[in-house]
Amino acid sequence: MNATQAMPATVDRPSRPGLVLVCVCVCTVLVVGLVAAINLAVPQLAASGLSPSSSQLLWIVDAYVVVFACLVIPGGAAGDRFGRKGVLVAGLVTFAVGAVVSASSPTVAIMLVGRVVTGLGAAMVLPNCVGVLVHATPPERRGRALAVWGAVSGMGGIVGNIGGGALLTGGTWRTLFAVVASIALVCAVWVVRATSRSDRASRALDPVGTALFVAAVVALLIGVIEAPEQGWGSAVVVTALVLAVVVGAGWVVFELRATHPLLDPRLFRIPLLSSAAFGMSVMFFGSFGLFYVNASLLQYGRGYTVLQAGLGTLPLALPLLLVSRLVPDLVRRTGIPVVLTAAFAAIGTGLFGLSTATGQPYPAYAAWLVVVGIGFALALPCLTAELTAALPAEQAGVAGGLQAATRELGSALGVAVVGTVLTAAFTGKLPEGLKGHEPAAHTVAEALAAAPAEHDAVVAAFVAGADTALRVTSVLTLLAGAVVVAGALRAARSGRHN
């Protein structure tokens, strides 16, 4: 049975599934949009009284995404077991609490605590949005509803950029978190009023498997994020990367032996499931790597205000609005491999094009953003529908969790890898007088504080570093996209894509 088949007769179905769709879309945009909005605040945070280093800046961005990614599958399982509506409401409240802690943080350490708590709330919210939607929508409308939700979730980053830019223009990064907390509480009330309870399923939460998965991902990101400051050969980085491999292997072994694994690794033997999961990670690797670079690039390189930088991402949204709704028909006519080939070709080509247009007028830059947006618009609805249909409806929360985990892991890795490449390239292109400066300058704020007269040279070094980061992201996306398409072709040949 898949997500589009009949639901159990005991489901308490709301009478207005359209209202439920709008509600879960708003909740989804909130938790996804915060990932993008914080990128706009990076220049403010770098110059704030928190005085974060370059690696701390990356952790401020990624702490939320890492917890989000690692706990989103347990969050979906908790919804299946304890009730999707209740866990969704609890997640929104937790999200609000974390945002309040972030808004009031006096130090980087407290900020990171707030980001972790917010990520925990997001991990409870996103998969249960899918679960609530699946159980609220009649089978004949479920595929279209999921496609709409997938397209809206893809626009979360765009909305986060625009909304975050508006809030940061009228206030500070503290204002951003305070408003986010208020919206989360309003959404919690909305969910209580708009949605109804659905059947629960007996589902093990697998705390040991969850702990191993979290440890492996955190170790991997420590290695990637700390490398520019510590060095790739440093004890910290090497130890972290080795631990990531060892603990990750331990997680696979444990899950294979567990009676009730949270996520059975054997599921990834299904060609389409593994291809779709990897494809989701690759797509969000590229998109949130772009968001991390783009926010600062527009502000530093083009002199845009924070609101202008947020609005500068609007060309990405146009294809999501115009193309996404055509994807289900396009898939039926041409097949999944063809659609995914076009999608990843557009994303990779668009990212490379952006790296050549940073010094050109904005319309040229915007045209490449449209190309990237076409790739997102083609890939996201296709991958969303296939991942959701791979598991039965009574495991809708876990299906949503798997989808969210792959996308947020891709986002976290995108920010970490792109941020690492950007920092390394930026420091390598700084004026000679700054290269030997102690302490070493790893951010634009640190470089300008050390040598205010070198403003133009520092900005030029940042733009050059951003170009390098975009090109690396382009190449990685194209190579990984080829792997995704190969998996989709295997799935099509095996006949297991239905």
pLDDT tens-place string over residues 356-411: 998 899 999 999 999 999 998 898 888 877 776 666 666 555 666 677 778 878 88
Q: Domain residue spans in the chain?
A: 17-205+262-494, 206-261
pLDDT tens-place string over residues 101-143: 999 999 999 999 999 999 999 999 988 888 888 877 787 777 7
pLDDT tens-place string over residues 422-464: 888 888 888 877 766 666 677 787 888 788 888 888 889 999 9
Q: Which residue has the higher pLDDT, 449 or 244?
A: 244
Q: Which residue has the higher pLDDT, 62 or 183?
A: 183
Side-chain-side CA neighbours of residue 76 (13 Å): 29
With a cut of 50, say whether residue 214 has pLDDT above it: yes
Q: Which CATH superfamily is domain 17-205+262-494 in?
A: MFS general substrate transporter like domains (1.20.1250.20)
Q: Residue 5: what pLDDT?
A: 40
CA distance 69 to 67: 5
With a cut of 70, say whether residue 198 has pLDDT above it: no
CA distance 403 to 235: 34
